[in-house]
Every structure is written in structure tokens, then in C-alpha cells.
């Protein structure tokens, strides 16, 4: 990889670590590339789809002229694996906030779980989590939530292409999901808990694919930087 490669455009596959924001991952690469290749101060770099700090996995970072295809990459189907924990909910639908309610799980069977999956396949209506970056009345939803303000959130259409249960060890249910752009897996976890006549929240999430790009071909930001140093 050369300075010209970066400026002309590269698609870089990064395995974002847990607790890192997508912005942090982009910045790590940005400063590493600038330092090693003496790039212009404002060279183009950006990511194709945010991944929450509490999730890890595939983050696609584009440089130079390839930043023009970010929208095209974002529109592709995404695949995730993770864990839904049933019997409890949180306001954020994940581990960002504390449990706010608990529910029975004794009635939940493998048959009920597999039957419930069918309700989530195809085009579905989904309400984004109140703890999300969507704007409402000029503020991010999470800003309203943290201020204790109630806001009405409209449901959005999203498509679930595949929903596979890979492990059941109640209260944990592991899954693999392939879905369209704009799907909130946290909302799937919450809605899945409701559909089981219980509660649910997301306790782990890993993005494994975006279109034909796979996390198996990605490296962590630290390994990316080390590989550059090894080439010098």
C-alpha cells in the first residue's frame, strides 16, 4: 500500500474492538496513515456504517476517492451474530443501561423460540431504540432519553432476510441475523422478548458481514498499524 493508493481510494476492513466507537477506529487509522505516508492534513477518510461501542466486528473504512462509494456500501445487507438475554429489559435495549424490569421465562421452550422467529422474517415494522443517534426536534434521541424526556418514535420498515437461532441456554439465546440497512438489532432483541411473552435485551453483538465483505478478512486497528510498520 502506497500514498497514492490511499489518496486514489482504498476499502479497509477493520475488526472494531469492543468499547471502541466507530469514530475512534476511523481516527486511529487516520492518524496512523497520515503519520506513515505523510498525507495531506485533510485527506478523505470515513466509515460505511456505524457500529455501537458495545458491539464489535466488521467496520468498513474508505479512503480517498472511495469515500464516494460509502453510501453504496451502507445500502448492502448486513449480517450479525450475538446474544439476546430474556427475562429482563433495559431502557437502551442493551447493556448501556441497567435492568428496569424482569419477566418470567419458565414458559419459554425451544419450540416457542423457533416458532416466534417466523414473526420476524421478511419486511417488518420496527421502532428504533430511544437510546439511538436518530434526530428528533433537533436533538439526538439519546439526548432526550438521558434528559428524561419522552418522545414519540415512529416505526420504520426493515427487512429480515435470515434469522437463525444458534444456541439456547436460557436465559441466553444466541442468533445469526441477515438484515437490511437501518435494522436495529437492539430493537429485535427487545421485540423478540415481548413476542415470547417475556422481556429481552441484547447482551452481545458482532457484525460479521456487509454485502460480500466479511470480518474474517478484517484486522484490528492495532494490527493494521503494526502491518504498516512492518512494511517500512
Residues classed as catalytic: 52
- For 229, what's the count of Cα atoms within 13 Å in the CB-facing half-sphere? 8
Helices (DSSP H) in 101-220: which residue ranges?
Answer: 110-117, 141-146, 185-195
Rounded (10°) CA dihedral 147, 152, 153, 155 = 160
Q: Which residues are bridge partners to 209 per DSSP?
A: 79, 214
Distance between CA atoms of 29 and 52, rounded to whole angstroms? 18
Nearest to 198 by CA among 74, 113, 96, 80: 113
Closest CA to 96 of 145, 50, 134: 145
Q: Is 180 helix (H, G, I), strand (E, B) or coil?
A: coil
Dist. CA 90–CA 20, nearest whole Å: 21
Query: CA torsion angle for 142, 51, 103, 171 (degrees, to 10)?
Result: -160
Closest by Cα among 195, 208, 187 to 81: 208
Amino acid at each position: 500500500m502506497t500514498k497514492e493508493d490511499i489518496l486514489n481510494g482504498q476499502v479497509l476492513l477493520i475488526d472494531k474492538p469492543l468499547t471502541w466507537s466507530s469514530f475512534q477506529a476511523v481516527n486511529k487509522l487516520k492518524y496512523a496513515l497520515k503519520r506513515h505516508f505523510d498525507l495531506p492534513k485533510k485527506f478523505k477518510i470515513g466509515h460505511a456504517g456505524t457500529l455501537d461501542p458495545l458491539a464489535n466486528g466488521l467496520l468498513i473504512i474508505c479512503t480517498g476517492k472511495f469515500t464516494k462509494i460509502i453510501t453504496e456500501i451502507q445500502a448492502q445487507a448486513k449480517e450479525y451474530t450475538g446474544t439476546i438475554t430474556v427475562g429482563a429489559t433495559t431502557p437502551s435495549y442493551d447493556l448501556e443501561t441497567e435492568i428496569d424490569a424482569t419477566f418470567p421465562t419458565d414458559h419459554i421452550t425451544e419450540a416457542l423460540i423457533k416458532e416466534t422467529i417466523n414473526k420476524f422474517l421478511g419486511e417488518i415494522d420496527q421502532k428504533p431504540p430511544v437510546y439511538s443517534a436518530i434526530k428528533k426536534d433537533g436533538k439526538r434521541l439519546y439526548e432526550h432519553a438521558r434528559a428524561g424526556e419522552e418522545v414519540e418514535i415512529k416505526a420504520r420498515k426493515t427487512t429480515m432476510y435470515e434469522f437463525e437461532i444458534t444456541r439456547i441456554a436460557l436465559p441466553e439465546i444466541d442468533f445469526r441475523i441477515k438484515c437490511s440497512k437501518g435494522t436495529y438489532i437492539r430493537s429485535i432483541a427487545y421485540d423478540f422478548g415481548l413476542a415470547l411473552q417475556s422481556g429481552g435485551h441484547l447482551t452481545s453483538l458482532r457484525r460479521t458481514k456487509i454485502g460480500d465483505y466479511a470480518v474474517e478478512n478484517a484486522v484490528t486497528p492495532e494490527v493494521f498499524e503494526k502491518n504498516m510498520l512492518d512494511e517500512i
